[in-house]
Structure 1
Amino acid sequence: MSQFGGDLIKVVNELQDRLNPLGFSNSFDLPQIAVVGGQSSGKSSVLESIVGHDFLPRGSGIVTRRPLILQLIQDPNSDVFYGEFLHSPGKRFYDFNDIRDEITAETDREVSQSKGISRNPINLKIYSHDVLDLTLVDLPGMTRVAVDDQPEDIEQRIEHMILEYISRDNCLILAVTAANQDLATSDALKMAKQVDPTGERTIGVLTKLDLMDAGTDAKDILMGRHRIQLKRDFIGVINRSQKDIDEHKDIRRALYDERKYFIEHPSYGPDMADKMGIRYLQEYLQRELSLHIFKRLPPLKPKLETKLDEVRERLAKIEFPLGDKDKDQVLAEAYDKMRSGFDSGVGGKVWVVDTDALNGGTRINTLMNETYAKAVNKMFYDETRIRREIGIAIQNAFGTRIGVFIPDTAFISVVMNQIELFRNLSLDCVDWVTDEIVIIVTECVQNICRFPKLKDIFSKFALDFVRESNKKCKNFVQHLIELEKCYINTIHEDFIKMIGDTKSDPLPDTQSIMTAKALQQNVSKSDWISYKKSDYWFVLNDTSLS
Structure 2
Amino acid sequence: MAKSGKNLIQIVNELQDKLQDLGVESLAIDLPQIAVIGGQSAGKSSVLESFVGRDFLPRGSGIVTRRPLVLQLINNKVDTNSYGEFLHLPAKRFVNFDEIRDEIVAETDREVRDSTGISPKPIHLKIHSPDVLDLTLVDLPGLTRVAVGSQPKDIENRVENMILEYIRRDNCLILAVTSATQDLATSDALKLAERVDPKGERTIGILTKLDRLELGSDARDILTGNYGIHLKRGFIGVVNRSQRDIDEKKDMKEALDKEYQFFSQHPAYKDISDRLGISYLQQYLHQELSKHIYKLLPPLKHRFELELSELTAKLEAISEPLVESDKEIILSKTNEELRKNFESAVGGNGSGNGNDVDIKKLNGGAKINVIMNDTYGNEVNQLFTDEHQMRHDIHVAIQNIKGVYMCIFPPDAAFKACVISQIGVYMCIFPPDAAFKACVISQIELLRKPSLVCVESVAYELQDIVRDCIQTIQTFTPIKEFYTRLTLDYVVECKKRCKACVEHLIRVEKAYLNTNNDDFMKLYKESGGMAAKIAAQESTSSSDKPNDTISHTDN
Q: Could you state the TM-score of these two structures normalised by the residue count of structure 1?
A: 0.86
8 Å contact kept, 1:86–1:124: yes
For the pair 1:30 / 2:34, whether they are aligned, the reply is: no
Q: Could you tell me whether the CA contact under 8 Å between 1:74 and 1:127 is conserved in 2?
A: yes
Q: Is the 8 A contact 2:66 2:141 kept in 1?
A: yes
| Structure 1 pair 379–53 and aligned structure 2 pair: CA distance change class (3 A) | farther
Q: CA, structure 1 residues 184+335, in 2 after alignment: closer, same or farther (shift >3 Å)?
A: same
Identify the residue that residue 461 of structure 1 maps to in structure 2.
486
| 300-309 or 377-386, which deviates more | 377-386
Q: Distance in 2 between matches of 1:372 and 1:412?
A: 25
Aligned to 1:304: 304
Deviation of the 1:463 alpha carbon:
0.8
Distance 1:465 1:293, change over 3 A: same
For 1:4 and 1:365, the matched residues in 2 are separated by 61
1:154, distance to aligned residue in structure 2 (A): 2.0
Aligned partner of residue 205 in structure 2, secondary structure: strand
User: Matched residue of 1:533: which SS?
Assistant: helix
d(CA) in 1 for partners of 2:388, 2:203: 58
Aligned equivalent of 1:404: 407
Residue 5 of structure 1, CA deviation: 2.7
Cα separation, partners in 2 of 1:460 and 1:280, compared to 1, 3 Å: same
Paired residue type of 1:474: K
Of residues 354, 363, 373, the one that matches 1:369 is 373
In terms of mean alpha carbon deviation, does 403-412 or 47-56 score higher? 403-412
Letter in 1 for 2:365: G
State how far apart, in whole Å, the 2-side matches of 1:177 and 1:385 are. Answer: 52
Are 2:207 and 2:235, in contact at CA under 8 Å, matched by a contact in 1? yes
Q: CA deviation at 1:449?
A: 3.7
2:285 is the counterpart of 1:289: no
Counterpart amino acid of residue 50 in structure 1: F
Number of paired residues?
514
**Equivalent position amino acid for 1:96 in 2:** F
What does residue range 76-475 of structure 1 map to in structure 2 within 5 Å?
76-268=77-269, 270-349=270-349, 351=351, 352-376=356-380, 397=401, 402=405, 404=407, 407-475=432-500
Shift of the 388–163 alpha-carbon distance from structure 1 to 2, 3 Å rule, reads: farther
CA, structure 1 residues 210+314, in 2 after alignment: closer, same or farther (shift >3 Å)? Answer: same
Q: Contact 1:448–1:454 (CA<8 Å) still a contact in 2? A: no
What TM-score, normalized by structure 2, do the two folds share? 0.85
Percent identity over the alignment is 56
Counterpart Cα distance in 2 of 1:461 and 1:209: 45
Paired AA for residue 171 in structure 1: C
Amino acid at match of 1:9: I
Deviation at 1:237, TM superposition (A): 1.9
Which structure dedicates a bigger proportion of its chain to helix? 2
SS across alignment from 1:34: strand
For 2:157 and 2:163, the matched residues in 1 are separated by 10
C-alpha displacement at 1:504, in angstroms?
11
Q: CA 1:250/1:369 → structure 2, altered by over 3 Å: closer, same or farther?
A: farther
| Cα deviation 1:212-241 (Å, max 9, x = unaligned) | 334322222122221112111212222233
Unpaired segments ≥5 residues, structure 1: 512-526, 536-546
Distance 2:435 2:480 in 1: 57
Matches of 1:75 and 1:385, distance apart in 2 = 66
Which range moved further: 84-93 or 204-213? 204-213
Could you say what secondary structure the match of 2:151 adopts?
A: coil
- In the aligned structure 2, how far is the partner of 1:305 from the partner of 1:179? 45
Q: Summarize deviations over 1:232-274 as a string: whole Å, max 9, x none.
A: 1212222233333333333333323333333343433x33333
1:358–1:148 distance in 2 versus 1, CA, 3 Å = farther
Letter in 2 for 1:325: S
The answer to whether the Cα contact below 8 Å between 1:57 and 1:103 also exists between their aligned partners in 2 is: yes
Query: Larger deviation: 335-344 or 231-240?
Result: 231-240
Deviation at 1:138, TM superposition (A): 0.7
Q: Would you say the 8 A contact 1:57–1:104 is kept in 2?
A: yes
| Offset of residue 492 of structure 1 | 2.9
Structure 1 residue aligned with 2:501, among 476, 481, 484? 476
CA positional deviation for 1:368: 2.5
One-letter amino acid of the counterpart of residue 331, structure 1? L
Residue 486 (str. 1) matches residue 489 (str. 2):
no
Moved more, 287-296 or 485-494: 485-494
How big is each residue's C-alpha offset from its partner over 1:325-349, in whole Å with a ceiling of 9 and x where there is no partner? 3322221221111111111222212
- What is the rounded CA distance, in whole Å, between the counterparts of 1:321 and 1:139 in structure 2? 39
Please give the alpha-carbon distance, in whole angstroms, between the structure 1 residues aligned to 2:498 and 2:101: 19
Pairwise CA distance, 1:391? 7.8
Give CA-to-partner distance per residue, 1:408-465, whole Å, 9 cap, x none.
3343334334433433443333222211111110000012243111111111111111
Q: Return the alpha-carbon distance in structure 2 between the equivalents of residues 344 and 241 of structure 1.
A: 51
Question: Cα–Cα, structure 1 residues 274 and 444, in superposed 2: closer, same or farther, change >3 Å?
Answer: same
1:267–1:440 Cα change, 3 Å: same
Contact 2:334 / 2:475 at 8 angstroms: preserved in 1? no
Pairwise CA RMSD? 2.9
CA distance, structure 2, for counterparts of residue 389 and residue 282 of structure 1 = 61
**Which residue of the partner structure matches residue 412 of structure 2?**
none
Unaligned runs of 5+ in 2: 409-430, 542-555
DSSP-derived class of the 1:92 partner: strand
Kindly provide the amino acid, as one letter, of the partner of residue 404 in structure 1.
C
- Deviations for 1:86-125, whole angstroms, at most 9, x for unmatched residues? 1111211112222122112222222223222221111110
Corresponding residue SS for 1:298 = helix
Trace 1:48-59 onto structure 2 (pairs within 5 A): 48-59=49-60
Distance 1:373 1:62 in 2: 32
Q: What secondary structure, in the 3-state scheme, does the structure 2 residue paired with 1:404 have?
A: coil
> Residues 531, 377 of structure 1: CA spacing in aligned structure 2 closer, same or farther, 3 A cutoff?
closer
Q: CA deviation at 1:298?
A: 2.9
Which segment drifts farther, 10-19 or 417-426? 417-426
Q: Deviations over 1:453-498 (max 9, x none)?
A: 1111111111111111122122222222222222233333343345
Judge which range, 52-61 or 192-201, deviates more.
52-61
| Residue 284 (structure 1) shift | 1.7
CA distance in 2: counterparts of 1:68 and 1:505, whole angstroms: 68
Change (3 A) 1:264 1:402: farther
- Cα 1:404–1:479 change in 2 (3 A) is same
Q: 1:417 to 1:530 in 2, by over 3 A?
A: same
* Inter-partner Cα distance in structure 1 for 2:39 and 2:459: 29
- Structure 1 pair 532–415 and aligned structure 2 pair: CA distance change class (3 A): closer
Aligned partner of 2:539 in structure 1 is: 533
- Which residue in the other structure is 1:523 paired with? none
